Structure 1
Amino acid sequence: MEKQVNKLAKKLPLKTFTNIFFIALFFLFSSVAIAQEPTYNTGQKYIIGDITVTGNTSFGSQTIISFSRLNKGDEIVIPGEKISNAIKRLWGSNLFSSIDIYLVRLEGNTAYLEINLEDLPELNEVTIDGIKKSKKEAVITENKLTKGAKVTENLITTTRNYLTNKYKKNGFLNTKVTVNTKEVIDSIQKSRVDMSIKIDKGEKVKIKKINFIGNEKIADKKLRKAMKNTKQKNPIRILKRSKYIQEDYKEDLVSIIDKYKENGYRDARILSDSIIINDDKTISLNINVEEGEQYKFGKITFVGNSVYTDQQLASVLKIKEGSTYNGVELRKRIADDTKPDAIDLTNLYQNNGYLFSTINPVEVSADGNVIDMEIRISEGKPAYFNNVSVSGNDKTNDHVVYRELRTKPGQLYSKQNVIRTIRELGQLGFFDAQQLVPNMKNFNTVDGTVDIEYEVVERGSSQIELQGGYGGGGFIGTLGLSFNNFSMKDIFKKDAYKPVPMGDGQSLALRLQASRFFQTYSFSFSEPWLGGKRPLQLSTSISHTKQFLYNAVTRDADKDRRFNITGVSVGLSKRLTFPDDYFHLSQAISFQHYNLKNYNTGLFTFGDGYSNNLAYTVGLSRNNTTADPIYPMGGSNFAVSAKLSLPYSLFNNVDYKALKEERDGLDPTDEDDSVRISEIDQQRYNWLEFYKVKFKGDWYTRIVDKLVIKSGLEFGFLGAYNNDRGVIPFERFFLGGDGLGNYSLDGREVVQLRGYPNQSLSSTDGGTIYNKFSMEIRYPITLGAQAKIYGLGFIEGGASFDNFRDYNPFNINRSAGFGLRIFMPAFGLLGIDFGHGFDALPGETTKNGWETHFIIGQQF
């Protein structure tokens, strides 16, 4: 054998022999390695002896082992559930790109494990090309592309899809997004990547033409009108652009079929639709429809009804035999999902306790294109509220919320009462009206009970007004504090100040305002439920103002020539039950003392003296606007009031006719006569005698989505019981501008009319009658809890007149413009308007033009 080997070696070249030798060695050591690889018995239990962590990771070994929940001394099966769960947990952390667990060796029943893993790379920098710089930060925030974020394939894919869909929704149908990553080597050897995002939006794709094929019964124009979101190019259209958005287009295809169903073509369907790319980079849409035959309603019978008669149900359904079949209208008359308080059959039952009722329309015959219908009703048993609860009111006391609930335990279920409760809670102003949710739960069809929980989200109900500005010839400083959820009973409790006692639904307001020319101080308090048993509101207020005349020589306020007003009022407002419980009757008694010292103006013919104003005000109002008082989307709010003084001329034995004749015979330019005129007017106005009637109405109409039109009407008239005594110089109307009180505090009532300077549309002495018409179109930017922001456009007109014989309701000053409103709970309502006055100011010949108005604490 040895000779044969030597002989073979002699015959083989040295290189070949060497290769064979190394191959033999390789197989030898491989067999040894294989022999040394640990073997385990499936299903046998082992004890973990130790765990080591290897691989490229920045996490500590103990951290990884703890997260895996594999511990030294644990009993495991190889392979087994504990090891599988450990791998799942580590993958679930989204921190690693590679994870393996190895069995290193076995010593008896002791297993030694190794966790080998690779960290996911962290995001270093992001560069974005193809969009404006101002838009880049939003892309980073929305896709969570912050420095240090773990870069996964899912993050890359999600970012790409998000941006592609985002711009396609905006009409960029050909948007292409590329996301690339590049590894970065840093000093700490940490795996990092830079991300490059390239956005190619392309040209915005517009729809040149929408073509319909196969339609004979309904014209193209009507079908295009039915498409609410997808429009073809039209230069005169403003609100809806002709961009193509796939999701909106799919919805509009359904709207086309609904249009056919509304006209009796219940079998109508879309056979196909296609997009044609035009040479001018626009597209055309071809929609192929099959109309089918027109149907009419035949006999409609009700089956299963015992609570209501056929006649009662038919009066709600309002569909007559022989009328054109309208599947859309039929669906709404059964259950209108767009209006929670709609008059339909479902609400008829649910408003009277039948929560578990079901109503299904079934076609039983369609002979001769006449469809006979059965309205099949399963009434179920009446349902009653079992548990009624409220959650989320951390600051507002329970009794304040519960007294507004229209649903009580043991009460018959009523959907109408649930909707009304949401409205009442929203009108309180303590909760975010957009997030009020009634949660129905624990439905029990056997016992006929249901639980309801009203989930509320509190918002700041206190406001602070701290501002400074220029007006009336000088700097005006204002400090206002308004607490709209105050608690008077806790005012002496130290622990209740957070920062003030809150939670009882009361209102307390303090306001201080001062400048060189005037000072005003006011305090008001109201309790909405006097006595706690019924909605009887008590309102009180105290105010004091000082105003000084302007000295033309010193160009400053003349403190020796002043006009003071001190006032107090007490009022009660009661919720009525007739004609309905949206009505309120309010009554108030007020007293103002006007004190003049050397205050000679065109309005007052007596510069030294006083006047007293004791008046009774009665008002009737009705407010059924929707839940959010800041941005109502439906309903109306109107108020009519009359403010009356005592008819002093009937019993004070003063001959006002003689005084008037004497005054008319005096010469105001004569010094002695001027003094006498002042004396006569002091006597005429020592106790003010007047009546004042006002009306204001606002109507809110929801057009589409949250687009709302608000229309308004105002009227005011100030009259005298005794014409010889005359109309008083106080309580007059001053029209024009932003509607704020400005710096004139002489008992006047200011009325806003944008597009003109403040109080510029009334005579120097003020008007005794005015009217105003307005219309706004509003759309919200956000209605969040922290801020409600909406834009508006307006047109309005109004006029002020000195006496009734000059009154012409159609001779008005017109204006139009646009503005913005921002409501923040801490600061109230703020806004800005840009109004264009189309008419000339009194005494001028050219139109007024543009005016800018800042709105503080008012709502138009």
Structure 2
Amino acid sequence: MNNLVKAGMTQKLFTLLFFIGVTFATQAQDKELPPNSTKYTIGEINVTGTTSYNEQTVIAFTNLKTGEQIFIPGTKISKVLNKLWDLGLFSDINIYVTKITGDVVDLEIEIQELPELAETKIRGLKRKKKKEELIKENKLTAGKRVTENLITTTQNRIANSYKEEGYLNAKVKINTVKVEDTLPNSNKVLMVVDVDKGEKVKIDDIQFNGNEALSDAKLSKQLKKTKEKKFWRFWKRSKFIAEEYKSDKASLIKKYKEKGYRDARITNDTIIKKDDNSIVLELDVEEGNRYYFGNISFLGNSVYSDEQLKQIVNVQKGDVYNGTLLEKQVADPTKPDAVDLTNLYQNNGYLFSTINPVETRVYNDTIDFEIRISENKIAYFDHVTVTGNDKTNDNVIYRELRVKPGQKYSKSNVVRTIRELGQLGFFDPEVLEPQFKNVDPNSGTLDMVFPVVEKGSSQIELQGGYGGGGFVGTLGLSFNNFSIRNIFNKEAYKPLPMGDGQQLSVRAQASSFYETYSLSFSEPWLGGKKPVRLSASLSHTVQYFYNAQQRDTDRNRRFLITGGSLGLAKRLRVPDDFFTLSGAISFQHFNLQNYNTGLFTFGDGYSNNLALTVGLSRDNTATNPVFPTSGSQFSVTAKLSPPYSLWNGTDYEALNQQQEDGTLTAAEVDQEKFKWLEYYKIKFNGTWYNRLVGKFVLKTSAEYGFLGAYNSDRGVPPFERFFLGGDGLGGFSLDGRETIALRGYPNQSLVPIDRSSLSQATQNDGATIYNKYSLELRHPITLKPAASIYMLAFAEGGASYDGFRDFNPFQLNRSAGIGLRIFMPAFGLLGIDFGYGFDPIPGTTGSNGWETHFIIGQQF
């Protein structure tokens, strides 16, 4: 050993000595020391190499101390070496014996510190945001130690991320450049990442081999997101995305299983490079035999009989084997309210039940199944809580919950609770998700938490513009989570008393020739114990006579309308609790003061409109009221005035005859007829929402309306009529008219034709019958609380008529187009539609053509 310790001895010998020691230490698993080890006392310890740490810090970390006795070779040195490597701070570590004097040994610890990342530069990408994303995703932050593994891993990760997006030729190269620093022993580098993503590789052709049962076309159809190039396929991309291709292959096999080919598989799939920018996909398919369902039995069920379970499964012996169908009949994860075995049990308390279909016998082309059920204990809710509501009062939320502490678990009630909370409009429906806490199968209890995120629910309407010959200004405030009980509580104004779920709206509109004011209030839970909605409204309008030619307003000639309504709506329990029965009484008083209009033949006088409105509706749409994705809405309403003709003793046939004879003027007859309006109005509306592919939702709707008279001699009044066409915005209305949207045509332009004169009817008269049908394909852009935005494409048709003699539900004014909707809590719904009318406006010839419609505050 002394022969090795000489001035000028080479590092190779020291290294050899060290590794001999390490080798003996690792091999001597059953022995503490190798046979030729010698005991020494540590003399001096020196640290050399490149490091930003001082010498004493490194020595302290090794736990080697001057005067300590060690064996060379021995395990002590190898442990020190491993400890330093585990720090991940060094690229090279060596320990040398530099001098031996008797039994005293001097040691040298040579370390090379890993460089520290000073900065990362991404080259080859234009977007700054994408560069920042790459740095963040790969954690290339300043101060990170740069290792060969980091460089290799980062290089591969970035290249693979682009390949997954279809850039199969993506190349990534990483270099490091030493950064000069004024600090001593600084070891910092600049990392330069060169990215050449190239062009996206497209699929030139997809070839299938071995398929007989399903054609190439049917198999290609299953590759939803993997499509070959076609000049006519502009709406489907043909770029190759590895993850999507993997998913599409699974869908292809799933299709085979739906057709009975249980053993179908893809034995080989090859990507053939045609050129730098295109590939050919070749898939070898092994179909196997077609199978059929045999006997299906049940094991472990005691709550439900075999017959009850068979009705849910709905698979008969001899049916073509469909593995996908059987899985869905057991548990369909795509539909929370599906009619399947899992929901059958979970909707009746059996949260801990497990259901597994098992193949018990395969013979010839038949498969027998046994559905094994473990029912376990009934689960009960222990605690039910809502978190996150800082504005809405707890009682407003808890009264909508369909789950209660101590209640038997029901999945359908949990799903329904999510819908009810979303329908309130106070919370972000896109993040409503129940959380299961403290689930204990042994005791059969669980806690349920409903986290909510509050969103703005009040709206402001502030508009100004020129219309009808002058400036029109509108100011409206709508508070959709108001608290009227705190209106005199100063501490509740933050900035207004909110949180009780009530609605309060105030609106004023004025121009040079009219003023209108309205106030409405709604309490959804009258008394706080039952879902009975109370609604009330008041309105007052003053219309001054306006000469459009002279653009002059005569305020001595005016038409005053004062009205109000009071209504109740109760949520029913039968046929189910999605139904609501409503009733409202409304009254309007019309007062004409030296005001001649097409509505009346008299300029001075009055008229009254007292009516009862009864409605039955059903709404089970889910979950977001701005963008429903499923469910339907139906409503039937009847608005009825009292049949005054039965008891007022007026002979209207005689009145009409006196007008024809000239005994009475038209004004006198109309004044008598219109003292109290007499009519009935029936309306129906049905809307369905169906999710198609991805986030696409199809909205289908149909609606009808009819206005009739009790007394044919009195006739249908020129009020409460239907005006079809345009954006559906009513604007300023005196006569209770209803404006029905039909895009692609001017507002209120689709009026009936007077068959006798073949001329367009007076627009103020409107129609007594209308029908409308609509298809609307929707896709969301964002559904965040700050702004919900979705685009749409529509096709619709409708028509209006003077009576049943002209009614033809198939003779429609048709249109189609596209649009955009933006819903912001502070301003309500805004939108724009571009519609093309395929048919002429009544009384004209040729297609109406393009119309642009702006939507403000309409229904969703």
TM bracket (short chain): 0.7 to 0.9
Which residue pairs with 1:403 in the alignment? 399
Which residue pairs with 2:790 in the alignment? 790
Q: Following superposition of structure 1 onto structure 2, how do residues 44-55 of structure 1 map, counting pairs within 5 Å? A: none
For the residues of structure 1 that align with 2:541 and 2:85, how far apart are their CA atoms? 74
Which residue pairs with 2:514 in the alignment? 518
Query: How many Å apart are 1:697 and its aligned residue?
Result: 1.2
Which residue pairs with 1:680 in the alignment? 669
Q: Following superposition of structure 1 onto structure 2, how do residues 66-215 of structure 1 map, counting pairs within 5 Å? A: 123=119, 129-131=124-126, 135-137=127-129, 139-140=131-132, 150=142, 152=144, 168=163, 170-177=165-172, 200-215=196-211
For the residues of structure 1 that align with 2:150 and 2:681, how far apart are their CA atoms? 68
For the residues of structure 2 that align with 1:462 and 1:199, how far apart are their CA atoms? 49
The one of 281, 290, 294 equivalent to 2:286 is: 290
Encode CA deviations 1:531-556: one digit per residue, 9 max, x unaligned. 11110110111111223343135314
Q: What SS class does the counterpart of residue 805 from structure 1 fall into?
A: coil
Q: What SS class does the counterpart of residue 613 from structure 1 fall into?
A: strand
Which residue pairs with 2:713 in the alignment? 724
Which residue pairs with 1:49 in the alignment? none
1:733 and 2:722 correspond? yes
Which residue pairs with 1:630 in the alignment? 626
Query: How many Å apart are 1:359 and its aligned residue?
Result: 0.8
Unaligned regions of 5+ residues in structure 1, if any? 1-21, 25-33, 41-53, 66-78, 101-115, 667-672
Which one is further off, 214-223 or 237-246?
237-246
Which residue pairs with 2:497 in the alignment? 501
Which residue pairs with 2:536 in the alignment? 540
**Contact 2:581 2:616 survives alignment (8 Å):** yes
Query: How many Å apart are 1:121 and its aligned residue?
Result: 5.7
Which residue pairs with 1:269 in the alignment? 265
For the residues of structure 1 that align with 2:603 and 2:195, how far apart are their CA atoms? 74
For the residues of structure 1 that align with 2:504 and 2:84, how far apart are their CA atoms? 61
What letter matches 1:721 in structure 2?
A: Y
The one of 571, 574, 593 equivalent to 2:570 is: 574
Which residue pairs with 1:344 in the alignment? 340
Q: Using a 3 Å threshold, how does the CA distance of structure 1 residues 222 and 39 change in structure 2: closer, same or farther?
A: closer
**Contact 2:691 2:697 survives alignment (8 Å):** yes
For the residues of structure 1 that align with 2:557 and 2:129, how far apart are their CA atoms? 59
Q: Using a 3 Å threshold, how does the CA distance of structure 1 residues 137 and 361 change in structure 2: closer, same or farther?
A: closer
Q: Using a 3 Å threshold, how does the CA distance of structure 1 residues 463 and 370 change in structure 2: closer, same or farther?
A: same
For the residues of structure 2 that align with 1:257 and 1:740, how far apart are their CA atoms? 51
For the residues of structure 2 that align with 1:149 and 1:644, how far apart are their CA atoms? 73
Query: How many Å apart are 1:140 and its aligned residue?
Result: 3.6
**Contact 1:563 1:746 survives alignment (8 Å):** no
Which residue pairs with 1:750 in the alignment? 739
Query: How many Å apart are 1:39 and its aligned residue?
Result: 8.9
Q: What SS class does the counterpart of residue 396 from structure 2 fall into?
A: helix
Which one is further off, 743-752 or 377-386?
743-752
1:819 and 2:814 correspond? no
Which residue pairs with 1:112 in the alignment? none
Q: Using a 3 Å threshold, how does the CA distance of structure 1 residues 303 and 743 change in structure 2: closer, same or farther?
A: same
Q: What SS class does the counterpart of residue 466 from structure 1 fall into?
A: strand
For the residues of structure 2 that align with 1:306 and 1:831, how far apart are their CA atoms? 56
Query: How many Å apart are 1:215 and its aligned residue?
Result: 1.3
For the residues of structure 1 that align with 2:803 and 2:115, how far apart are their CA atoms? 85
Encode CA deviations 1:102-145: one digit per residue, 9 max, x unaligned. xxxxxxxxxxxxxx999956559x676554xxx54465468559
Q: What SS class does the counterpart of residue 834 from structure 1 fall into?
A: strand
What letter matches 1:697 in structure 2?
A: G
1:846 and 2:846 correspond? yes
Q: What is the TM-score of this pair, normalised by structure 2? A: 0.82
**Contact 2:770 2:801 survives alignment (8 Å):** yes
Query: How many Å apart are 1:36 and its aligned residue?
Result: 8.7
For the residues of structure 1 that align with 2:170 and 2:685, how far apart are their CA atoms? 52
Query: How many Å apart are 1:745 and its aligned residue?
Result: 3.9
Q: Using a 3 Å threshold, how does the CA distance of structure 1 residues 468 and 120 change in structure 2: closer, same or farther?
A: farther
**Contact 1:208 1:233 survives alignment (8 Å):** yes
The one of 581, 585, 589 equivalent to 1:593 is: 589
For the residues of structure 1 that align with 2:345 and 2:380, how far apart are their CA atoms? 13
Query: How many Å apart are 1:483 and its aligned residue?
Result: 1.2
Query: How many Å apart are 1:496 and its aligned residue?
Result: 0.7
The one of 307, 310, 323 equivalent to 1:311 is: 307
Q: Using a 3 Å threshold, how does the CA distance of structure 1 residues 127 and 365 change in structure 2: closer, same or farther?
A: closer
Which residue pairs with 1:218 in the alignment? 214
**Contact 1:468 1:475 survives alignment (8 Å):** yes
What letter matches 2:718 in structure 1?
A: P
Which residue pairs with 1:617 in the alignment? 613
Taking only aligned residues, the RMSD between alpha carbons, in angstroms, comes to 3.7
Unaligned regions of 5+ residues in structure 2, if any? 1-6, 10-40, 58-75, 94-111, 752-760
Query: How many Å apart are 1:23 and its aligned residue?
Result: 8.4
Q: What SS class does the counterpart of residue 779 from structure 1 fall into?
A: strand
Q: Using a 3 Å threshold, how does the CA distance of structure 1 residues 208 and 98 change in structure 2: closer, same or farther?
A: closer
Q: Following superposition of structure 1 onto structure 2, how do residues 767-806 of structure 1 map, counting pairs within 5 Å? A: 767-806=767-806
Which residue pairs with 2:383 in the alignment? 387
For the residues of structure 2 that align with 1:402 and 1:768, how far apart are their CA atoms? 45
For the residues of structure 2 that align with 1:682 and 1:159, how far apart are their CA atoms? 87
Q: Using a 3 Å threshold, how does the CA distance of structure 1 residues 118 and 292 change in structure 2: closer, same or farther?
A: closer
Q: Using a 3 Å threshold, how does the CA distance of structure 1 residues 170 and 602 change in structure 2: closer, same or farther?
A: farther
**Contact 2:115 2:188 survives alignment (8 Å):** no
What letter matches 2:800 in structure 1?
A: S
1:657 and 2:657 correspond? no
The one of 253, 257, 268 equivalent to 2:253 is: 257
**Contact 1:472 1:742 survives alignment (8 Å):** no
1:489 and 2:481 correspond? no
Q: What SS class does the counterpart of residue 617 from structure 1 fall into?
A: strand
What letter matches 1:150 in structure 2?
A: A
Encode CA deviations 1:565-609: one digit per residue, 9 max, x unaligned. 211101000011111110000000001112223333333322322
For the residues of structure 1 that align with 2:233 and 2:514, how far apart are their CA atoms? 51
**Contact 1:90 1:99 survives alignment (8 Å):** no
What letter matches 1:296 in structure 2?
A: Y
Which residue pairs with 2:702 in the alignment? 713
Q: What SS class does the counterpart of residue 704 from structure 1 fall into?
A: coil
For the residues of structure 1 that align with 2:693 and 2:253, how far apart are their CA atoms? 20
Encode CA deviations 1:683-733: one digit per residue, 9 max, x unaligned. 111111110111111100011222100001111111111111111111111
Query: How many Å apart are 1:363 and its aligned residue?
Result: 1.1
What letter matches 2:739 in structure 1?
A: V
Q: What SS class does the counterpart of residue 848 from structure 2 fall into?
A: strand
Runs of 4+ in 1 over 4 A off after TM superposition: 34-40, 54-57, 86-91, 96-100, 116-124, 126-131, 141-146, 151-170, 177-199
For the residues of structure 1 that align with 2:710 and 2:479, how far apart are their CA atoms? 40
Q: What SS class does the counterpart of residue 665 from structure 2 fall into?
A: helix
For the residues of structure 2 that align with 1:275 and 1:645, how far apart are their CA atoms? 75
**Contact 1:122 1:191 survives alignment (8 Å):** no
Q: Using a 3 Å threshold, how does the CA distance of structure 1 residues 38 and 242 change in structure 2: closer, same or farther?
A: closer
Q: What SS class does the counterpart of residue 416 from structure 1 fall into?
A: helix
Q: Using a 3 Å threshold, how does the CA distance of structure 1 residues 819 and 186 change in structure 2: closer, same or farther?
A: farther
**Contact 1:465 1:827 survives alignment (8 Å):** yes
Encode CA deviations 1:472-495: one digit per residue, 9 max, x unaligned. 333322222111111111111111
What letter matches 2:706 in structure 1?
A: F
Q: Using a 3 Å threshold, how does the CA distance of structure 1 residues 253 and 491 change in structure 2: closer, same or farther?
A: same
**Contact 1:471 1:742 survives alignment (8 Å):** no
Which residue pairs with 1:75 in the alignment? none
Which residue pairs with 2:66 in the alignment? none
For the residues of structure 2 that align with 1:155 and 1:629, how far apart are their CA atoms? 49
For the residues of structure 1 that align with 2:335 and 2:606, how far apart are their CA atoms? 57
